[in-house]
Structure 1
């Protein structure tokens, strides 16, 4: 029997030579060795990091509860909202201009004062 490959690896998204988007041209069964070749597209979700996929999983399991996502991430509510907005923008599900408008300046400053947010994180949220 052929050893089962490590399924935690992800294919690269861009060509290392010209930076064009790569396509998947083959896949195979680790049990019987059957191989399939062709051109297969990847979805926008394939470009997400493991942390982003986990954040999306927690958001979905909690039925969209941002407070649950905040607890899972261990960061302030404004940071949670910003990270989720960044995820939506990466998936082309939200206008980046709208993402910037969603940051509540007073909440960010309150989180800095309470020690839930670093000055660097606050600066990034307020200037991006």
Structure 2
């Protein structure tokens, strides 16, 4: 039986990282730090909403009928999904992907330090990569 991997830590609520993958056919195993897809991190309620939204081809009136909720509730749920996927509305009203540069940089820095600690990088290589991150 396959279970859906949780997207958030049940203790602190932070994003969980995938650290191993395995093939059920040939038994190949991969270990490392992998990120799941954006949709994998969404709670079941939002995934169900997305499924209905797609099934209704984005027609909000049809989503209203299918879920038995009002137009403002459909809009609010849609906004919630959009934000959960990492998008926000810019000043022109368009959606733009929110890049958390500090978080991305922090994660990359941690990967470099882990590689240094594991002997995968020399101190010089690690310093060079860290300098590139600072630019």
Give the TM-score range, shorter chain.
0.5 to 0.7
Structure 1: unaligned runs, 5 residues or longer: 99-128
3-state DSSP of counterpart to 2:33:
strand
Give the 4+ runs in structure 1 shifted more than 6 A: none
3-state DSSP of counterpart to 1:94:
strand
Q: Map 1:85-124 onto structure 2 (within 5 A).
A: 85-95=79-89
Instruction: Output the aligned Cα RMSD.
Output: 2.8
**Please, what TM-score do these two structures have when normalized by structure 1?**
0.57
Q: Map 1:1-128 onto structure 2 (within 5 A).
A: 5-7=1-3, 9-14=4-9, 16=11, 20-95=14-89
Number of residues of Structure 1 aligned to a counterpart in Structure 2 = 92
Query: Deviation at 1:40?
Result: 0.9
- Return the alpha-carbon distance in structure 2 between the equivalents of residues 56 and 19 of structure 1: 22
3-state DSSP of counterpart to 1:88:
helix
**Which one has more relative contact order, counting CA pairs under 8 Å at least 6 apart?**
1
Name the CA shift for 1:92/1:27 in 2 (closer, same or farther; >3 Å).
Answer: same
- Return the alpha-carbon distance in structure 1 between the equivalents of residues 72 and 10 of structure 2: 36
3-state DSSP of counterpart to 1:58:
helix
